[in-house]
Amino acid sequence: MTIPAPVAVALDAPDLETAALWADLVTPHVSTVKIGLELYLRYGPDVVASIRGASTVRVFLDLKLHDIPATVARSARIVARLHPDLLTVHASGGPDVIRAAAEAAPDTMIAAVTLLTSLSEEQLGLIGVSANVHDTVLRLSTLAVEAGARGLVCSPREVGAVRAEVGPDIVLITPGVRPAGSAPHDQARVATPEEAVLAGSDLLVIGRPITGAADPGAAAAGVAASLRRLAAVAGTPAPR
C-alpha cells in the first residue's frame, strides 16, 4: 500500500459540494485536507464531517484563532468536539493564547501560525514590526513551542532555520508551496514541494496548483509521485 504524501490540500472551494469532490479525488494520494475559514463560516461545523466522510484522511482546520486567551480557549474547546487533527492559532496572540488553546483541545495538534506567507519584508515594516521576517519567525516559533504548540506554520523560506531552532519533535507545516512552473498567486515566500521537504517541512500545504487543475486527483498524484522519488533518493521522512 502506498503511503499518502505529506501534503495538506487546501479546499478553498466556492461550495461544499465542490470541496467534498476535491477531497474525494485527492485523498488516495495525500495525508491531509485543509478546511479554511471561508468554508467553515459558510457551512458551519458540519463541514468537517462532510469533508472527512468515511475516509481516514486527516482534517486540518485552519481557523487561525486570534483573540484573548479566554475566548480562544472556549473556541478551541468547541472546535475540539469536531475531532480535527490540526487546528491553527496565531502565534502573535502571545503565549497565553497558545497555551489556552493547547489546554482546551489536548487531543488536537495546535499549530501556531508564525507569519502569513503573503507578508513580504516591506509589508512587515508597514504593520510596525521592526525585526526582519527571519528573526520574527524564529522568535514566534520559540514562543509558541514553549507555550505548548506541537506544530508550527512557516514559509518554506524559513523552515530550515525553524527546524534548527525548535528541534526534531515539532511538526513544521509550510504553505506557499508551489510545484515548479506554478503561479505564486498571493504568496510572497514560496518554494517547490521538493525544496520544502529538503529544507525540513513535515506537511506541505498546496491549494490551487492541485484544486485548480483540470483533474485535481491527477495533480495530487503527480505531487505525491515527485515526493516519493525524492524520498527514494534523499531518504525524506514519512508523513507526520
At 165, the amino acid letter reads E
| CA dist 141 → 27, 83, 132, 134, 144 (Å) | 30, 25, 14, 11, 5
d(CA 208, CA 204): 13
Is 64 a residue of the active site? yes
Q: Is the distance from CB of 17 to CB of 24 less than 8 angstroms?
A: no
Residue 174: phi and psi, rounded to 5, are: -125, 110
d(CA 107, CA 194): 30
Active-site entry in 64, 77, 83, 139: 64
Which set of grid coordinates corresponds to residue 83? 475531532
SS3 label, residue 198:
helix
Catalytic residues: 64
